[in-house]
């Protein structure tokens, strides 16, 4: 497959307040770039919070799915369906809100560390919004890994090939690290839309020479596969997500998306 995806736009995350007073970095949506939302993706928040902080008390959701991926520390979950779980670093939880549910989240970490992770909202197609709510926890050890470029690139598959995570929208969600001088490439279906969010270092996109640095999100244009390189002296880490658009109007109502 040709690795010809170009970059439509590059945006910067911005700090917003959520939950009971937690400051999170909002990566998506990016209204000023005309990306509200990036179908089928609604929102991506990058959170770094103190252990024992206010967290995210019980609140309702409806009409979409949530992927919460923990990079450092741990997070707890409790919902009105009777599910309770603790997700350690490297693991994730999938919540399908469907016709509606309540949940609350809190986090913890070793002394001197913060809880770091990502909450990712993935829209449901209109025909799926009434499905029964459900919850899934997946540990770090159960998520598949790949290596590319002679081991200089490591790919952790959060959602996609061989991942046990069950989500209703066809998509891929990857956690990637690239050593200096290394490269990454991935086949993506022609119609899927997506983005790269850089966590560390700087990404150089082969399709058009665009660059994105830590804290920036690069929106993928149309095409087939994606290729990028780390031509800097520091390691590169990023999230890649791409999915099949629903092509339907999105009606926001706070924690509900109808």
pLDDT in tens, the chain (258 residues): 678 899 999 999 988 766 545 678 889 987 766 655 699 999 999 988 776 665 566 677 899 999 999 999 888 878 778 788 888 999 999 999 999 887 666 666 566 678 899 999 999 999 999 999 999 999 999 999 999 999 999 999 999 999 999 999 999 999 999 999 999 999 999 999 999 999 999 999 998 999 999 999 999 998 889 999 999 999 999 999 999 999 999 998 878 898
Burial class (CB in 10 A: 0-12, 13-18, 19+), 257: buried
pLDDT given for residue 56 in this prediction = 61
**pLDDT recorded at residue 112:** 61
Q: The tokens 């629903």 sit on which residue?
A: 246
Residue 149 structure tokens = 């470029």
Distance CA(117)–CA(72), nearest Å, equals 7
Domains of the chain: 7-257 (2.60.120.10)
Convert 218-246 to b/e letters by CB count within 10 Å (16 or more is b). Answer: bbbbebebbbbbbebeeebbbbbbbbebb
| Backbone φ, ψ for residue 189 (5° rounding) | -55, 145
Q: Which two tokens stand for residue 58?
A: 């019980």
| First CA to last CA distance, the chain | 36
Q: What is the rounded distance in angstroms from the CA atom of residue 27 to the CA atom of residue 30?
A: 7
pLDDT at 113: 73
Q: For residues 168 and 95, give the distance between their C-alpha atoms in angstroms, rounded to a whole number.
A: 11
Contact 26, 197 (CB under 8 A): no
- pTM to 2 decimal places: 0.92
Can you say how many angstroms the Cα of residue 101 is from the centroid of all Cα atoms in its chain? Answer: 21
CA distance 58 to 246: 29
Task: Determine the pLDDT at residue 17.
Answer: 65
- According to the model, what pLDDT value does residue 194 have? 95
Q: Rounded to whole angstroms, how far apart are CA atoms 10 and 5?
A: 14
Question: Residue 77's pLDDT is what?
Answer: 78
Q: What is the pLDDT of residue 32?
A: 67
Supply the pLDDT for residue 149. Answer: 97
């Amino acid at each position: 497959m040709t690795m010809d995806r170009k970059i439509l736009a590059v945006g910067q995350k911005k700090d917003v307040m959520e939950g009971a007073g937690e400051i999170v970095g909002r990566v998506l949506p990016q209204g000023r770039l005309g990306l509200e939302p990036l179908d089928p993706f609604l929102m991506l928040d990058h959170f770094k919070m103190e252990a024992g902080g206010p967290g995210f008390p019980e609140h309702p959701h409806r009409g979409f799915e949530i992927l919460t991926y923990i990079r450092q520390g741990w997070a707890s979950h409790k919902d009105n369906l009777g599910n309770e779980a603790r997700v350690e670093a490297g693991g994730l939880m999938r919540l399908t809100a469907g016709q509606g549910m309540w949940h609350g989240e809190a986090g913890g970490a070793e002394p001197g560390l913060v809880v770091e992770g990502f909450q990712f909202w993935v829209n449901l197609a209109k025909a799926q919004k009434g499905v029964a709510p459900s919850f899934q926890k997946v540990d770090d050890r159960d998520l598949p890994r790949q290596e590319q470029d002679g081991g200089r690139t490591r790919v952790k598959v959060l959602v996609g090939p061989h991942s046990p995570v069950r989500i209703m929208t066809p998509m891929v969600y990857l956690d990637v690290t690239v050593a200096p001088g290394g490269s990454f490439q991935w086949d993506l279906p022609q119609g899927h839309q997506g983005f790269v969010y850089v966590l560390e270092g700087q990404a150089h996109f082969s399709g058009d020479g665009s660059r994105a640095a830590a804290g920036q999100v690069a929106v993928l244009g149309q095409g087939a596969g994606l290729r990028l390189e780390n031509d800097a002296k520091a390691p590169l880490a990023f999230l890649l997500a791409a999915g099949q658009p629903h092509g339907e109007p999105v009606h926001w109502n706070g924690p509900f998306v109808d």
